[in-house]
Amino acid sequence: MIQKAIINSLLFIFISTSVLNAQVWKDPNAKLDNRVESLLSEMTLDEKISYCGSRIPAIERLGIPYFEWYGEALHGLKAWNCTQFPQNIAMGSTWNPDLMFDVATAISNEARALKNKGQKEVMMFSPTVNMARDPRWGRNEECYSEDPHLMSEIARMYVRGMQGNDPKYVKTVTTVKHYVANNVDKRREFSHSLVRDVDLYEYYFPAYKTCIVDEEATGIMTGLNGVNGTPCSAHNELVNGVLREEWGFKGYVIADWAAVQGIEKRMRFAKTQEEAAAMAIKAGVDQECFRHKTKSAPFVKALKPAIEQGLLSEAELDVSVKRLLRLRFMTGDLDDPSLVPYSEIPSSVLECETHKQLALKAAEQSIVLLKNNDVLPLKKDIENLAVIGPFANRCWLGIYSGNPKSKVSPLAGIEKRVKGEVGFAEGCSVTGAKDDQDKIDEAVALAKNSDTVILVVGNDESTATETLDRTSLKLPGKQHKLIKAVQAVNKNVILVLVPSGSTSIGWEQENLPGIICAWPNGQEQGTALANVLFGDVNPGGKLSTSWVKSENDLPHFHDYNVTTWKDDYGPEVGRTYMYAKKKPLYPFGFGLSYTQFEIEDMKLNRKKVKNGQEITVTATVKNIGEMDGDEIVQIYVRDLEANHIVATKALKGFKRLHVPAGKSKTVSIKLPYEAFSHYDVAAKEFKVEEGDFEIMIGQSSEKIVASKNIYVEEGIIPQIKVGQKSGYFDSKDENRNKKWNYLYKDESFGNKKSNEGENEDLDWVEYEIVFIDPGVYVSTWDAELNFVDASKEAIVVTSMSGVEIDTHTLLSNQRTLKIKIPIPPEYGKPVRLKVKTVNGEVKHKSIKIIPPGNKEPFVITKVIAKSE
């Protein structure tokens, strides 16, 4: 009888606990881990597996809605009507982490605004912290720098601004990518990066570690490549070993697009898809990036058979699902919105005036003045100005961009600033076309009759993007020919570059009086460029990568060694300013100004550094010119007594500061003890080798203005994990306490202004298009508008979702018009293309959509809506 009573009591406790546990996940006040366990206990195996892909079905019986774990926010949301900031390589050239925090705050506010409208989730696949080790890489422009310290400091503030400072909820989930040593795009799904441990720990790892340990980034994306013979998405040593055990990473890991499938299909590392899926889970990978209208991710398809075949246990799967559920709770997605502070963010922040002004500020600070023979700034009363080039009348935002309503091209920005006559000629196409010579002749004729020429050239996704690496660092197509032809008739040429990175312009540097690097610089790029050209803004940006004279000065593209290396097959080579032997065209950290700065009175606060101590470098920065400006003070370190290969100099500290003309400011930069360390491969730890170190202060990596030696005692750098902080972490940084709305004055959210200005009297038609996933990344699709009839020189304007695309003039008897259409943020959803007639008369017939890759074109004849 007593035994029965005990059994009944235990049964009652078990049932009560089960009921209670089933309710815990709904309780916003319960501990996060308890909520995760509670929800997991109520999920079926199929429901658990569904979390391992990008599109997660609703669990209707539990009242859990559909969820899409997929978003892009590289330098602005890849969405309609969202502010587009300068491309990452441009943001790196600001050398301004505080500005990066502001930009990331604006981006994440817009992400939350879209979520609050029910239009988008907040799982973002950014930042990109692949090192910009080689400018030929197709995605080089996505990187902040070739230097691990500059990369780390910019990236940390991106993560901080995106995730927000609320102690309970994250504003957006950041996914730091692409882990790791992923810097070749052609056949990346099949290639392996062969990397030594010293290069991994000293060069490729630091930015990831900063984001994960110091800033507690929520996610990591593994690369499509392999490292040293093992696919990144099955790499137990890199994911479980380094990320989770060494660094204590608690977030989720997602494999890049279909990369788990690739473990078998492309890498041939697994024999079956089921084996590949089991490998990924056991290596610490939780999810596979994959979106399709009807198909599940290959990873999702393979997991249940893998469990049935005994390759994987449900308990092992549960570990991954817990990490994914944990983040969904952290976004507040399963809580009442009133409890989540970010649910207050209104849709009025989308491309608001405050954000556009911030985009302008970022663009201005990123511009780098490369050469100036007293030709800049230009006079505002110039009478005849020619603006020439394939990027002049185009606001090229860079790859992975959204579609803002407002975009200011270089030409548009200049036209607003100049009082005199402004002429425009395209000059040539980007990559070369049959009519380029005619365009060059037209440009030369315009240049002959102009006082000054602004020549805007560069490269775009046609020569560098995802899956496409640059084969040459020269300007593509006939752009160099255009420059020489224009310079032959007009010596007053200002060259403006819109590049993805280092560009071979040796002739231009030798023969042109002024050169500006303006980057794919966001939606306000034209205004920013004009402000710099005419002296309203003094350029203060500096290169975040070295610019080599030629690709011939670089090591083999697939050589991932960074430190100096010599073998039996070639000369001694090294990458980046730290190890390269050949003199660059422009050094790392280089940038001119309209004023002159002097850095004097360098001091160190101690003569000897003991284990664990930090050192403070101070100096006086004088503006001895006649214009206010920004200087970027750079601190480099060199080990003078090392018994191993060391960098000729390595950036360990920097600060951007504004100094009025004729004034001075004191700069103070702290270097932690770890700034003097190197990775000891044998001991598998960071060490400081006892001896003398040189501390250099400079205006670029080559222009060192002062240096002092200091003695540093030996020591070991303690291994830190999440919950601990590096010596570079600043707990007093005010950015760590700011609320989401600090950017906006009087909670005005930027006084949003409309840019549409729709004229209801004009004729227009709309076609409805459903874009299918082509399987490759592109930012635009080709299309053809077909007309039954059109009057001579009729003008039509194309737009999608309120965002103007382009203006087109129809030639005599023209019945087909080739156009470019920006892809929508999401495939599989209907989008309307509006064609508005602003001059003449047009009778529409159809639109032909030409997908990239091998997909068949399709024709749409039905007009879904039209003007009355």
Q: HSE, CB side, 13 Å, CA atoms: give it for residue 264.
A: 16
Q: Is 476 exposed, middle or buried (0-12, 13-18, 19+ CB in 10 A)?
A: buried
Strand ordering across the sheet containing 597-604: 597-604, 615-623, 664-671
256, 286, 333, 639: the active-site residue: 256
DSSP character at residue 141:
G
Do β-strands 795-800 and 55-56 pair in parallel, antiparallel, or remain unpaired? unpaired
Place of tokens 């390759």: 311
Amino acid at 537: V
Count the helix, strand and coil residues of the chain and give each as a percent rounded to the nearest 5. 30, 25, 45
98 closest CA partner among 362, 420, 374:
362
Residues 239 and 212 sit within 8 Å (Cβ to Cβ): no
**How many degrees, rounded to 5, is the angle at CA 358 between CA 354 and CA 360?**
120
At a CB cut-off of 8 Å and minimum separation 6, what does 357 contact? 750
The alpha carbon of residue 421 and the mean position of all alpha carbons in its chain are separated, in whole angstroms, by 37
Number of C-beta neighbours around residue 339 at 10 A = 12
- Alpha-carbon span 212 to 186, nearest angstrom: 29
279 closest CA partner among 304, 311, 327:
311
630 is catalytic: no
Q: What is the phi/psi pair of residue 31, to 5°?
A: -65, 145
CA quadruple 733, 734, 740, 742: dihedral positive or negative?
A: negative
At a CB cut-off of 8 Å and minimum separation 6, what does 314 contact? 45, 48, 307
- Alpha-carbon span 491 to 511, nearest angstrom: 9
Q: Which two tokens stand for residue 692?
A: 């003398």
Q: Which two tokens stand for residue 793?
A: 């020189």
Active-site annotation, residues: 256
